């Protein structure tokens, strides 16, 4: 732990370095567990991160009395909603996640995601077909509209309302302190939608929709049903996480193809390569760079140091994904590397809820995009990045088509 | 296309079941049942790539599926013979080629089939979800081995370096790997065992025969099934029978199901689960005799009760296949073939041999993690890991030998529950519920021996086990005192209820068997 190391982490957070944080992450990894000036423990090697993701002494809850400082950014108490399962520990986490999984995936709804493939392919195809002839922004005209349409139709949120909630979400994510008004507006909006579903069902003979909001509002399994406020909280999590991260996964994938056209050519020769290609993007340039807001419930000996009880912990997934102990030649993009176990979606009980959907969306999107990129040139390299150090991706990806 | 999932690694993230729902299904929250030979399918490849713990193996045929074999000059001379072509034998053969071995490679097995996976036999195969003859293990296409299948090894002539076979021939070798595994212990009374309706379950043929009897035929289904022995196989068979809607009685000599593997404290939870699922569970009883005229009709229990039964499944544990080594001069016995931590077999004097190696269920080797006790493990993951160590050491220089320092791990799927274990739960005096809730059937139980953590067992809580594995490797104190999520308020250590050795001998998955290989014969 040195001031120099701590300031490296500050440099990671600095938007100036957003276009390429990886050399900084390499420096950080020399000290697997680092303390920053504000007392946060930053963890950067694969083994140490993986260990903490399975460690029951690490809490994901917002524990301000235990933590030395209260963590910022929790959506929970800001708008009077209970925390989503992202910020809960078992058993409350497990119950809510099971409830949310029931209409989304196995064992109760095993075909939901796999059955989306044709829809995704036609959506991606029509977006590509609508590209203007000269230049296109692959974020605004491809990477964003695909996942947002998917999450809206999956959740049962009208696509027509997208401009409204997009503004709220942007405000909430960009601000250093999440904007209370924006999140409250979003919560109000989703709460109204939930009430509509509930009243529609008690009304005369309406066919219930096949969307998650309807299912979560009405379903009743072994764990019962979510309360209204739990449901709004879950819907907020799924709506925000459900597309922000996938936008960046698709955009980061597109950037690899533009910078290293050899992979574009491989994809055109071997279409099934798209599967390991997206896995490697999740390792090489993950859309979720770090997991902040975890707390040590007890002293945790790790990598030659001890994270003290009450300390706030940040897990640098992107650094672990470039750990040479786990990945030989970690800075080389190599979709055929084996083994390919990475931290792109986290690990343990908080493993990304939407991971299967994100994978499928990115695979289908990149398969549709690759042929177009044979005649594409990146206009701005590095591109302008989003401000967030947590959710990393280009704000725009303008290419010339020719 | 052949698929196998390393269910020791699997933590139930369900990514495969989301992406290829026709091939992979979740039963309950984290039990994975899958089709080992699904149609060649882009979805299956997508599912395999998505596995967060990379536990799904497919046939390795395409160049990008596997590293090219780098054949090292100088390690190719000679003949390697592997006796036993199941999981350990196959994995050793693959590992030898991956190590660069370019000499001749011969695999011998008394079953006529190629290597196949056994765990699905008591679960998805018995339940009729897949065909029992379709659990072939995937392997690399460029193995270049001679397969001698359907012939039994009858003897080993060490001075002459030859394996004698049941067809009268002999196969010469320079290095030998013994991987003959375990067979089902037959019903102790041969005349009763020969009755129509008596079954054991270990092989593909066993599973085909039992499945035919259990699945409805012409609208009729069998009456009561009696499962004798509530170890893992017996419990899984009972679970499958209940899922088929069959009436099942389980007779277990011990106090609880799974007592030999998990102790009676956790075994009593398994007992509750069986009863909740409609099993007529009887513990502390044995079966005195089976009665019938050609067909099984009745079972007489040691408590005097007589049950009308149509089918009896004898799940009495396994016998190690060592008879062919009886006069070989190796240290063999009912616990298997003793070997060092580098998989080299001991001779009967306790002197290690140079060219004979042992791997899989038939091996017993000292484990540094558990006081250098000789462990005989009937575990899938142990077979794979030990085969890889044996293969490496067979073709490596003295200075580059690997030790098999394997942390024992196993799993079982029964009654919708995923039970996973790490460490050696029977190397314990106490057990405590460390996380979760027994009532919800979602918990981790931590096992301790003289104040040290030695094992952990999860019921539907597999994602936490890597943490406990690390603690066991570090010889962490027991009981765990640290603050943690989901710690039960009222959990106190209780006696683990590990049975005595006589019982372990019958149905344990982990057997702690004394220090010296020459003592093997004394433990009958």
Measured between beta carbons, which residues in chain A are less than 8 angstroms from residue B436? 90-91
Q: Note whether A277 and A366 are within 8 A (CB).
A: yes
Q: How far is B436 from chain A (nearest CA, A)?
A: 7
Residues 6+ apart with CB under 8 A from B260: B231, B254, B426, B499, B503, B504, B506, B507, B508, B509
ipTM: 0.94
State residue A6's pLDDT score: 66
Instruction: Among B19, B243, B480, pick the best mutation site for testing chain A contact (most A Cβ within 10 A).
Output: B19
State residue A230's pLDDT score: 95
Of A107, A339, A349, the CB nearest to B26: A107
Q: Which residue of chain B has the CA closest to A271?
A: B42
Instruction: Among A65, A107, A249, pick the best mutation site for testing chain B contact (most B Cβ within 10 A).
Output: A107
Q: Between chains, do A110 and B486 touch, taking CB under 8 Å as contact?
A: no
Of B19, B27, B466, the CB nearest to A113: B19
Q: Between chains, do B486 and A56 touch, taking CB under 8 Å as contact?
A: yes
How far is the C-alpha of B216 from the C-alpha of A17, rounded, in Å?
Answer: 67
Higher per-residue pLDDT: A68 or A121:
A121
Query: How far, CA to CA in Å, does A348 sit from each of A59, A352, B11, B33, B163?
Result: 12, 9, 8, 21, 48
Q: Between chains, do B463 and A349 touch, taking CB under 8 Å as contact?
A: yes
Of B26, B50, B52, the CB nearest to A106: B26
DSSP B111-164: SSS--B-SGGGGTTTTTTSS-TT--BPP--TT---EEEES--EEEEETTTTEEE
Length in residues, chain A: 402
Measured between beta carbons, which residues in chain A are less than 8 angstroms from residue B483? 57, 297-298, 309
Measured between beta carbons, which residues in chain B are less than 8 angstroms from residue A106? 14, 17-18, 21, 25-26
Listed range (A53-57, A231-235, B215-219) with the worst mean pLDDT: B215-219
Q: How far is B62 from chain A (nearest CA, A)?
A: 11
Tokens of A279: 């896995």
- What's the distance, Cα to Cα, between the start and end of chain B in Å? 44
Q: How far is B99 from chain A (nearest CA, A)?
A: 16
Per-residue model confidence as pLDDT tens digits over A351-402: 999 999 999 999 999 999 999 999 999 999 999 999 889 999 999 999 999 8
Residues 6+ apart with CB under 8 A from B10: B32, B51, B53, B55, B411, B462
Q: Phi then psi for B224, rounded to 5 degrees?
A: -55, 135
Q: Between chains, do B25 and A351 touch, taking CB under 8 Å as contact?
A: no
Spans of chain B, pLDDT less than 50: 62-74, 502-524
Beta bridge partners of B34: B24
Cis peptide before A339 (omega within 30 of 0): yes
How far is the C-alpha of B519 from the C-alpha of B331, rounded, in Å?
Answer: 9
Query: How far, CA to CA in Å, does B246 sit from each of A106, B149, B220, B242, B508?
Result: 26, 36, 11, 5, 27
Look at the block and give the residue holding tokens 């882009």.
B42
Q: Output the CA torsion sign for B130, B136, B137, B141.
A: negative
> CB-based contact (8 Å) between B26 and chain A?
yes
Q: Between chains, do A113 and B18 touch, taking CB under 8 Å as contact?
A: yes
Q: How far is B49 from chain A (nearest CA, A)?
A: 6
Of A54, A279, A355, the CB nearest to B467: A54
Tokens of B195: 């009755």
Q: Which residue of chain B has the CA closest to A266?
A: B64
Tokens of A66: 């235990």
Measured over all CA atoms, what is the biggest interatomic distance in chain A, rounded to whole angstroms?
68
Please say if the pLDDT value at position A75 is more than 60: no
Q: Note whether B301 and B282 are within 8 A (CB).
A: yes
- The CB-side HSE value for B40 (13 A sphere, CA atoms) comes to 5
Of A59, A299, A356, the CB nearest to B485: A59
pLDDT bracket for residue A64 (50, 70, 90): low
Q: Note whether B151 and B324 are within 8 A (CB).
A: no
Q: Between chains, do A272 and B42 touch, taking CB under 8 Å as contact?
A: yes
Please say if the pLDDT value at position A208 is more than 80: no
Per-residue model confidence as pLDDT tens digits over B366-379: 887 777 788 899 99
| Beta-sheet pairing, B182-184 with B318-320 | antiparallel
How far is the C-alpha of B12 from the C-alpha of A181, rounded, in Å?
Answer: 39
Of A54, A113, A299, the CB nearest to B466: A54
How far is the C-alpha of A73 from the C-alpha of A66, rounded, in Å?
Answer: 17
State residue B367's pLDDT score: 82
Length in residues, chain B: 524
DSSP A56-101: TTEE-S--TTTSSSPPS--STGGGTPPPPGGG--TTHHHHHHHHHH
Query: What's the mean pLDDT in A177-186?
Result: 79
Measured between beta carbons, which residues in chain A are less than 8 angstroms from residue B17? 105-107, 110
Q: How far is B433 from chain A (nearest CA, A)?
A: 13
Return the percentage of chain A with pLDDT > 90, whole number: 80
| Beta-sheet pairing, B306-308 with B295-301 | antiparallel
Q: How far is B468 from chain A (nearest CA, A)?
A: 9
Per-residue model confidence as pLDDT tens digits over A123-153: 999 999 999 999 999 999 999 999 999 999 9
Q: Between chains, do A356 and B15 touch, taking CB under 8 Å as contact?
A: yes
Of A105, A272, A345, the CB nearest to B45: A272
Q: Which residue of chain A has the CA closest to B440?
A: A91
Instruction: Among B32, B49, B439, pick the best mutation site for testing chain A contact (most A Cβ within 10 A).
Output: B49
Nearest to A75 by CA among A190, A200, A204, A210: A190
Q: Note whether A230 and A98 are within 8 A (CB).
A: no
Query: Could you say which DSSP state residue B38 is in?
Result: P
State residue A243's pLDDT score: 81
State residue B406's pLDDT score: 84
Measured between beta carbons, which residues in chain A are less than 8 angstroms from residue B19? 113-114, 356, 359-360
Q: Between chains, do B18 and A105 touch, taking CB under 8 Å as contact?
A: yes
Measured between beta carbons, which residues in chain A are less than 8 angstroms from residue B466? 50-51, 54
Reduced DSSP (H G I as helix, E B as strand, rest coil) percent helix, strand, coil of chain B, to 5: 25, 30, 45
Per-residue model confidence as pLDDT tens digits over B182-237: 999 999 999 999 999 999 999 999 999 999 999 988 888 999 999 999 999 999 99
**How much is the CA Rg of chain A, to the nearest whole Å?**
21
Beta bridge partners of A377: A400
Beta bridge partners of A360: none
Q: Which residue of chain A has the CA closest to B16?
A: A356
State residue A340's pLDDT score: 86
Residues 422-441 in B contacting A (C-alpha not used; CB under 8 Å): 434-437, 440
Measured between beta carbons, which residues in chain B are less than 8 angstroms from residue A363? 46
Q: How far is A15 from chain B (nearest CA, A)?
A: 30
State residue B61's pLDDT score: 54
Instruction: Among B484, B487, B491, pick the best mutation site for testing chain A contact (most A Cβ within 10 A).
Output: B484
How far is the C-alpha of A295 from the C-alpha of A311, rounded, in Å?
Answer: 6
> CB-based contact (8 Å) between B18 and chain A?
yes
Query: What's the mean pLDDT in A199-220?
Result: 80
Q: Which residues in A280-338 belong to E strands, given as ranges?
A: 291-296, 300-302, 305-307, 312-315
> CB-based contact (8 Å) between B50 and chain A?
yes
State residue B516's pLDDT score: 34
Q: How far is A354 from chain B (nearest CA, A)?
A: 10
Q: Between chains, do B15 and A55 touch, taking CB under 8 Å as contact?
A: no
Q: Between chains, do B64 and A339 touch, taking CB under 8 Å as contact?
A: no
């Amino acid at each position: 732990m040195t001031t120099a190391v701590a300031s490296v982490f500050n440099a990671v957070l600095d938007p100036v370095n957003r276009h390429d944080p990886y050399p900084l992450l390499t420096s950080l990894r020399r000290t697997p567990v680092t303390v920053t000036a504000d007392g946060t423990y930053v963890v950067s090697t694969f083994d140490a991160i993986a260990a903490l993701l399975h460690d029951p002494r690490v809490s994901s809850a917002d524990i301000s009395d235990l933590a030395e400082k209260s963590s910022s950014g929790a959506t929970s108490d800001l708008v009077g909603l209970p925390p989503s399962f992202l910020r809960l520990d078992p058993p409350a986490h497990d119950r809510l996640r099971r409830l949310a999984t029931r209409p989304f995936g196995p064992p109760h709804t095993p075909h939901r995601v796999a059955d989306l493939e044709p829809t995704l392919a036609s959506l991606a195809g029509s977006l590509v077909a609508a590209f203007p002839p000269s230049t296109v922004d692959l974020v605004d005209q491809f990477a964003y509209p695909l996942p947002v349409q998917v999450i809206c139709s999956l959740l049962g949120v009208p696509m027509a309302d997208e401009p409204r909630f997009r503004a709220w979400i942007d405000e909430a994510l960009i601000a250093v302190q999440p904007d209370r008004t924006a999140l409250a507006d979003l919560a109000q909006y989703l709460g109204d939608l939930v009430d509509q579903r509930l009243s529609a069902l008690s009304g005369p003979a309406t066919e219930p929709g096949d969307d998650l909001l309807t299912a979560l509002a009405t379903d009743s399994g072994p764990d019962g049903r979510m309360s209204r406020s739990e449901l709004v909280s879950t819907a907020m999590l799924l709506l925000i996480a459900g597309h922000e991260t996938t936008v960046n996964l698709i955009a980061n994938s597109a950037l690899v193809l533009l910078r290293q056209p050899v992979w574009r050519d491989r994809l055109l020769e071997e279409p099934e390569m798209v599967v390991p290609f997206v896995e490697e993007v999740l390792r090489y340039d993950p859309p979720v760079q770090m997991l902040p807001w975890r707390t040590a419930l007890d002293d945790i000996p790790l990598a030659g140091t001890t994270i003290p009880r009450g300390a706030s912990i940040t897990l640098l997934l992107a650094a672990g994904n470039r750990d040479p102990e786990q990945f030989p030649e970690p800075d080389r993009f190599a979709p055929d590397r084996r083994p390919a176990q990475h931290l792109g979606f986290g690990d343990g009980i908080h493993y990304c809820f939407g991971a299967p959907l994100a994978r499928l969306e990115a695979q289908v999107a990149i398969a549709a995009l690759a042929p177009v990129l044979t005649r594409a040139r990146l206009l701005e390299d590095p591109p302008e990045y989003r401000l967030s150090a947590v959710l990393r991706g280009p704000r725009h990806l303008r290419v010339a088509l020719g | 296309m052949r698929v196998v999932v390393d269910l020791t690694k699997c933590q139930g993230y369900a990514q495969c079941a989301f992406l290829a729902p026709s091939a992979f299904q979740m039963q309950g929250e984290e039990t994975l049942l899958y089709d080992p030979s699904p149609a060649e399918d882009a979805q299956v490849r997508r599912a395999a790539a998505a596995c967060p713990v990379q536990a799904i193996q497919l046939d390795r045929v395409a160049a990008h599926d596997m590293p090219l074999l780098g054949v090292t000059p100088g390690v190719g001379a000679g003949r390697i013979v592997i006796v036993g072509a199941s999981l350990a034998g196959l994995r050793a053969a693959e590992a030898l080629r991956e190590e660069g071995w370019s000499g001749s490679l011969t695999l011998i097995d008394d079953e006529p089939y190629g290597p196949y996976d056994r765990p699905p036999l008591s679960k998805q195969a018995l339940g009729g979800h897949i065909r029992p003859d379709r659990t072939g293990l995937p392997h690399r296409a460029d193995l270049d081995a001679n397969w001698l299948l359907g012939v039994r090894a009858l003897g080993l002539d060490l001075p002459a370096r030859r394996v004698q076979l049941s067809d009268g021939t002999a196969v010469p070798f320079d290095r030998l790997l013994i991987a003959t595994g375990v067979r089902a212990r037959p019903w102790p009374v041969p005349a009763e065992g020969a009755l129509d309706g008596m079954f054991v379950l270990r092989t593909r043929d066993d599973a085909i025969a039992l499945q035919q009897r259990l699945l409805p035929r012409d609208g009729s289904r069998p009456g009561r099934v009696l499962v004798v022995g509530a170890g893992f196989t017996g419990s899984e068979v009972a679970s499958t029978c209940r899922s088929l809607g069959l009436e099942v009685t389980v007779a277990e000599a011990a106090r609880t199901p799974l007592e030999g593997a998990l102790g009676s404290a956790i075994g009593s939870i398994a007992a509750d689960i069986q009863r909740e699922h409609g099993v007529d569970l009887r513990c502390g009883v044995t079966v005195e005799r089976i009665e019938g005229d050609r067909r099984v009709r009745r079972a007489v229990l040691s408590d005097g009760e007589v049950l009308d039964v149509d089918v009896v499944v004898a799940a009495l544990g396994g016998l190690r296949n060592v008879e062919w080594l009886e006069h070989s001069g190796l240290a063999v016995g009912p616990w298997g073939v003793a070997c060092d931590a580098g998989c080299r077999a001991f001779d009967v004097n306790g002197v290690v041999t140079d060219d004979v190696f042992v791997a899989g269920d038939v091996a017993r080797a000292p484990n540094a993690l558990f006081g250098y006790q000789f462990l005989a493990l009937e575990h899938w993951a142990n077979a794979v890991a030990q085969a890889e160590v044996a293969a490496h050491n067979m073709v490596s220089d003295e200075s580059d030998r690997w030790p098999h320092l394997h942390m024992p791990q196993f799993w079982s799927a029964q009654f919708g529950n995923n039970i996973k274990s790490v460490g050696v739960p029977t190397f314990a005096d106490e057990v405590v519920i460390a996380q979760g809730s027994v009532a919800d059937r979602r918990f981790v139980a931590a096992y301790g021996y003289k104040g040290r953590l030695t094992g952990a067992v999860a019921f539907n809580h597999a994602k936490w086990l890597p943490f406990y594995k690390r603690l066991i490797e570090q010889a962490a104190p027991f009981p765990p005192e640290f603050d943690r999520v989901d710690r039960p308020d009222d959990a106190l250590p209780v006696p683990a209820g590990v049975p005595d050795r006589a019982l372990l001998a019958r149905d344990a998955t982990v057997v702690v068997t004394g220090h010296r290989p020459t003592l093997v014969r004394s433990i009958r």
